[in-house]
Structure 1
Amino acid sequence: MATRIACTFAALASLAAVAAAGPALAADKIAYPVTTGTMIMQSSPGSGGDLFLRAVADAANRQIGANFAVENVTGGSGAKAMALLGKSPGDGSMLMGVSPTYVNTSLLSKPPVSYTDLQPIVRLFLDSVIVVVREDSPYKTLKDVIEAAKKAPHSVKVAVGEPGGLETQTMIELMQKTGTQLTVISHDGGGDALLSVLNGTGDMAIGEAAELKSQLDAKQIRPIAAYTEARIATFPDLPTAREQGIDMVVQKFRGIIGPKNVSPEVIKAWEAAVPKMLNDPAFKKWYEEGALIPAFQPHDQFEAFIDNFGAKQKQFFLDNNMIKG
């Protein structure tokens, strides 16, 4: 009997210890206004943006006292997702993962909800952009592509993501700098653009290492250039565009935004969480393998960055007669 009572007291003590540990573990996480949140992505599943946001949500769930899930809201090159975010409350229950596309879409198509109607929260990364072809492609370098395009204008077909994406702008700049004419095929996201190359519809695509990793590892596609300042550590044998005589560097930012009225508590939580996320071993392994460059900016800096980026993009589109002044 004494043994049974002792065991009972031991079990109760163990349960009490677990119960006491629960709040302590929860207290280690950063306070957040809501317990669940949706992070929307304007591109399709499998795209670089989609992979980025899912990794961010997973890392954020380990640092912030809320559970985040990702939802893909495609359509209008991000216009549909921006409209949904613009109507959401400012309590952090809905946020959006962004790249330059959301600024470009705002300038090119003037959707009901523009990038200026939304609030930058934090920037996490700059993205290394690479050019890939199918493994059996005759093109070995970016110079080969340019030479083929000069011999037969529009013969080279380039698969890109959303029409308002940085990939499309990159192709416009490439054609301007090289005096070539390429055929640009737009898709709902980088994942769809990659499928276009794999099935032979497109001759090459532009994307990020993270979204292309599995196909690169399987040797279904082959990189031929990097639009980076220097060679990428994970692709030491891949020459940059500059090394191939094309003076171009492209860096895609990755960040989190909210509705215009997003609360200071939400901003504060993400500003505190991102540095911890960037040091999270699992998250760090993922972004290093994907050649993402940590480039954290808190709210005020990210907001200024977006304002400056938007002004530069607008001037580019005006100079190329893509929008009217």
Structure 2
Amino acid sequence: MKGCPKSIVLFCFLLSNLFLFSQNEHLVIGRTTGKLLLKNNVSVRTFGFTNSLSGQVTLPGSEIRAKVGDTVRVDFWSISQGNPVSLFCKEIDFVQWDKNNKVMKKKEAIHHMEHGFYSFRAEKPGTYLYYSPENYPFNLQAGMFGLIIIEPKEKDPLAPESLREILWCSNELDTKWHTDAIMGTEYDSRNKPIVLPPYQPNYFLINGKVASETNGLQSLDRKNEAVLLRLVNSGLYLHEIVFPPNAKLKLRFGSETALTESANGCTVALHAGESMEILVSLENVGDTERLIYHFTDPISKKKVYETAIAVFN
């Protein structure tokens, strides 16, 4: 770059570094103002994670993507009007930093209108649930959760080029936990637990919508193409998915014990907070086949809700 002014060289250097590393830097905003539209135009108040002040709360919230080997940095801005909140993931060790870029020996929740800084090393491919652990399980059930997706460093040479990816993040919702009286609890610096009624969910959701309204896995004209299905249980119940007998499932990430086979088909069982990735081959599945989604109370072992979802769109 002979003859180029130093200012232009410096600008190009900074721009190239921003391009290289920006995908590993994320802004997550924790908020206590959001609405979720349920069946028959019923709406409830929710909490949530967004990546902008104007962003609408969705379930799940802000997604963080990385590749194995990346160092991921998260600026968590709490605009929560209620108790302090923080970020947590069971499978990933978050390091918390102070505003002077020093590692904090003791992790702390983030108060209203303050920033918390986190980092982690992306070590293992997979799909992970992260959430606000304060007042567990209230903040989680209220909607303060999102996903971390870590891709392999190198693309699998055996994977199809046009592999379709689908996310089913399922949870239950108890509307009695979403009243203004509960969700509007005033700020308490001591993070005093919120008093809640017994958990009796009356809505069962996939990706923030009533489970029965979920679209199928694949279109009929592409039934010979495999699907990468990411399954996440962000609820408190046991979630089970029964696939038709002729569907072939290959585990890509998750516990092998979560998959069981029988004459009625393969069943995937996810306990609270668990997730998995599976390659699903549907070429031998009948055009009108359905899979069954169960939500089971882990204490009473009672199957509380069941819905059938068409395999093909």
Q: What range describes the TM-score normalised by the shorter chain of this pair?
A: under 0.3
TM-score, normalised via structure 1 length = 0.24
Greater RCO (CA < 8 Å, at least 6 residues apart): 1
Larger Rg: 1
* TM-score, length of structure 2 as denominator length: 0.25
Instruction: Indicate the structure with greater strand content.
Output: 2
Would you tell me which structure has more helix in proportion to its own residues?
1
